[in-house]
Chains A and B, each alone.
Chain A
Amino acid sequence: MKKIAIAGLLCLAGTAFAQEELKIGAIVTLSGAGAAWGQAMLYATELAADDVNAKGGLDVGGKKYKVKVVPYDDKYQAGEAVTAANRLVFEDKVKYIIGPVGSAAALAVTPIVDKNKVVMLTLGFTDKALGKDKAFNFRPNLTTMETSQPQINWIVKAKNIKKVGGLFPNDETGQQIAQDLEKAYSKAGAQLNAKEFFERERVDMMPLLTRMMAKGIDAIELDGNAPGTAGLIVKQARELGFKGFIIRSGGPATPEIVNVAGNGAANGMLVNTPINPANTAVKAYSDRYFAKYKKRMNGFSPAFYDGTHMLLQAMSAAGTTTDTDKVRVALENIKDFKGILGTLNWTGAEVYGAAHQISAPFYIARVQDGQEVIEATCSLTECK
């Protein structure tokens, strides 16, 4: 909160001696359930903006633009996101929006951004967030749709898993992920045969775990849960004497899970991670993040840092900040972008009808004493 105020002040101070100003709006969740992700996205955008501003601004068609981020809270509610989008588009007159976090919010603001040709980079996990008719929507992060199949194929085979139980929050993200995972596990030859949905604020998982364990599952799936909740599930499952595997097929959150569950309980957990611990660029980014915001970086943040840089590069390439049709095409045309996460490309034409989904390398890691140890390196087709 204080940080946001300071960031706001810095922005104000910045404008006093700006050359030309380029505003990027952010519809992010800063309070309540999705706040960890909202902050990760907002800070990523701000750090990317800092990069270009430190070089004297973004060079577009010979003019230097100072990048300014305008963040609004959507409280993780679709209705609030619509109001925030209206304000950004019509009051602040932004042409670029980072966010929203939630799927419902992403769907709700899409008509506004499309009609007004605003380029939007959203986190929303729903498969309806991208599409042929949603020309201005892009997704710079991998979702369960992309990562689950190759990862689950590998885990099911390598660890000989037959029956899986999953706990999901009863909201749009949870329902969507449960659906995706059920398909992925059955394709891989295992079965997601215990599914539990619970209210987002729930903290006592023991009754749900008891019921799942009574069905004799080999593994528990954590994908779709907020980091803190996932930590509670791990802790309570181990307290109940669960000996099988704990898998998180998406949604980077290892430090938060270890923090809540403790080193012992989290040991042996198999997680999806977009970050190779050997990647020095991400390590440097993570240190910078901590230095500026005094918070540990959430795993989604690097994706949005790279995404914002891709967007800025597209503006330079298009030679305009106002003609978003050109910027959109320039963004689509970016190939082999060298981001901190690795080499990035757009994909998703077959799945979504538009190649607006990032394709990035990712990894399967085993958690050992709170650290991730890479077990397999994955592309969108297979893990090795």
Chain B
Amino acid sequence: MNVSTMTENHNKGARTRAFDQAPGNAWKAWIPALLVLFAIPLLLAGNPFYIHLAVLICLNIIFVNGLALINRTGQLSFCHAAFMGMGAYAAVICTVRFQTPFLISVSAGVAVSMLAAYLLGAVILRLQGVYFVLVTFCFGELFRLVMLEGGDITGGANGIANIPPARLFGFTFDSKLSFYVLAAACAFLSIVFLIALFKTPKGNSLDAVGDNPDLAEASGISIQGSQTFAFVLGSAFAGFSGALLAHYLGFVSPESFNQHISVAAIIMLVIGGRGSVLGPILGALIMTPLPELFRSAIETQNIMYGITLILVLKFLPMGLVGIGAKLRGKKGQP
């Protein structure tokens, strides 16, 4: 890409700085912009359906942020929905069976996702490219089968219903609006976290690994270490969004975490844009409400998705975020 042509004569520090500045370095300007964006649904409080969509957008932002983090180290996970499911199931089982408070349940969900990602990552992250994709694909299927066969623990195909709503510090998030505030806060924090992470040397090393593993290794960055870090953290994001989703919908079932959900996350990421913090936000923002346009004609929707996906890959490999860069006079494009 644009970076590699610039990097050859530079050291690692200069390279990563250049990379982060390319899609736009006005972080300070668009944090307030984000806050305004998250505040818009509050004005629509009269229509719970829009609030419902806004909640889903926020949860998808967290979910896709996790996938983006993994992808920035050069790996594409095809079992992202499985980690979402793990977080959801673990949190729900804690809430329903052990009556733990919401905060503990969610923490347990995230912890289970992280542990599973660590164990899985330890053995599969030595695989690259399509091999990694295939092994994660298989793992996603395996997870779904295990949930289906889980008997009383997971409720089998019926899943678990009647999950009590989220409660935090004595406040119950049982209305759509209140849950939106919670989800928006979480989504916002996940974004700020990513912005902060990619300003640290650790974050830069993740990009370095994704961009040119050989070069990164030559400059002393551990590929496996960076990828494990991103895989565990990204899966934690997925688990977190799953735990929230389960407490919002009050329901979990294995079909809510199948391959289609993993593919949907990849579509959001690719269309929004890989390699920047803004991409996943754009992807979730656009792709979550889009199906509503086609609610009674689903085939058309999927055909449109397919065509968009191919067109974006062909003409905007950096995703919609790349439009800005293109307009700004093709800076750095070969």
* Chain A residues engaging chain B, CB cutoff 8 angstroms: 1, 4-5, 8, 30-31, 71-73, 75-79, 82-84, 86-87, 89-91, 103-104, 107-108, 111, 126, 128, 170-176
Complex formed: what's the CA distance from A83 to B56 in Å? 9
B256 at interface (Cβ–Cβ under 8 A)?
A: yes
Residue of A nearest to B258 (CB): A77
Chain B residue numbers with a CB within 8 Å of A82 are 249, 251
Chain B residue numbers with a CB within 8 Å of A4 are 296-297
Complex formed: what's the CA distance from A31 to B295 in Å? 11
Residue of A nearest to B249 (CB): A82
> Are A176 and B158 in touch, CB under 8 angstroms?
yes
Given A82-B251, A172-B253, A175-B156; A73-B161 close (CB under 8 Å):
no
**Would you list the 8 A-B pairs with minimal beta carbon distance, nearest first?**
A90-B49, A172-B157, A91-B49, A90-B48, A86-B52, A108-B251, A172-B158, A171-B157
> Are A8 and B296 in touch, CB under 8 angstroms?
yes
Chain B residue numbers with a CB within 8 Å of A86 are 48-49, 52
Chain A residue numbers with a CB within 8 Å of B213 are none
Given A104-B253, A107-B251; A128-B161 close (CB under 8 Å):
yes
A78's partner among B50, B251, B295, B298 (CB-CB below 8 A) is: B251
Complex formed: what's the CA distance from A103 to B251 in Å? 12
> Are B298 and A30 in touch, CB under 8 angstroms?
yes
Chain B residue numbers with a CB within 8 Å of A75 are 298
Residue of B nearest to A73 (CB): B298
Complex formed: what's the CA distance from A171 to B253 in Å? 10
CB distance from A107 to the nearest CB of B (A): 5
Chain A residue numbers with a CB within 8 Å of B256 are 77-79
Given A78-B256, A79-B256, A108-B249; A72-B296 close (CB under 8 Å):
yes
> Are A111 and B298 in touch, CB under 8 angstroms?
no
B250 at interface (Cβ–Cβ under 8 A)?
A: yes
> Are B157 and A1 in touch, CB under 8 angstroms?
no
A-B contact list, 25 entries, CB within 8 Å: A8-B296, A30-B296, A31-B299, A71-B296, A72-B296, A73-B295, A78-B249, A83-B52, A83-B53, A86-B49, A86-B52, A87-B292, A87-B295, A90-B48, A90-B49, A90-B52, A91-B47, A104-B159, A104-B251, A108-B161, A128-B161, A171-B157, A172-B158, A175-B156, A175-B158
B117-158 with Cβ < 8 A to chain A = 148, 156-158
Complex formed: what's the CA distance from A77 to B56 in Å? 15
CB distance from A100 to the nearest CB of B (A): 13
Given A83-B52, A86-B49, A87-B49; A104-B157 close (CB under 8 Å):
yes
> Are B48 and A104 in touch, CB under 8 angstroms?
no
Question: Contact residue range for chain B?
Answer: 20 to 34
Given A1-B299, A87-B295; A77-B255 close (CB under 8 Å):
yes
Chain B residue numbers with a CB within 8 Å of A90 are 47-49, 52
A104's partner among B158, B297, B299 (CB-CB below 8 A) is: B158
Complex formed: what's the CA distance from A85 to B253 in Å? 17
Chain B residue numbers with a CB within 8 Å of A77 are 255-256
Chain B residue numbers with a CB within 8 Å of A71 are 296
Complex formed: what's the CA distance from A31 to B294 in Å? 12
Residue of B nearest to A29 (CB): B298
CB distance from A307 to the nearest CB of B (A): 21
Chain B residue numbers with a CB within 8 Å of A30 are 296, 298
Chain B residue numbers with a CB within 8 Å of A1 are 297, 299-300
Residue of A nearest to B46 (CB): A90
> Are A78 and B49 in touch, CB under 8 angstroms?
no
Chain B residue numbers with a CB within 8 Å of A128 are 161
Given A72-B296, A83-B52; A107-B157 close (CB under 8 Å):
no
CB distance from A80 to the nearest CB of B (A): 8
Given A30-B296, A87-B292; A107-B47 close (CB under 8 Å):
no
Residue of B nearest to A173 (CB): B157
Chain B 245-289, CB-CB to A under 8 Å as 1, else 0, gives: 000011101011000000000000000000000000000000000
Residue of A nearest to B295 (CB): A72
| Extra 12 A-B pairs, beta carbons < 8 Å, given A30-B296, A31-B298, A172-B159 | A8-B296, A78-B159, A78-B251, A78-B253, A86-B48, A87-B52, A87-B295, A89-B49, A91-B49, A171-B148, A173-B157, A175-B156
CB distance from B303 to the nearest CB of A (A): 11
Chain B residue numbers with a CB within 8 Å of A83 are 52-53, 56, 292
> Are B249 and A103 in touch, CB under 8 angstroms?
no
CB distance from B241 to the nearest CB of A (A): 13
B174-206 with Cβ < 8 A to chain A = none
Chain A residue numbers with a CB within 8 Å of B157 are 104, 170-175
Residue of A nearest to B52 (CB): A86
Complex formed: what's the CA distance from A83 to B245 in Å? 12
Complex formed: what's the CA distance from A76 to B300 in Å? 17
B286-325 with Cβ < 8 A to chain A = 292, 295-300
Given A75-B298, A82-B249; A104-B49 close (CB under 8 Å):
no
Complex formed: what's the CA distance from A79 to B261 in Å? 11
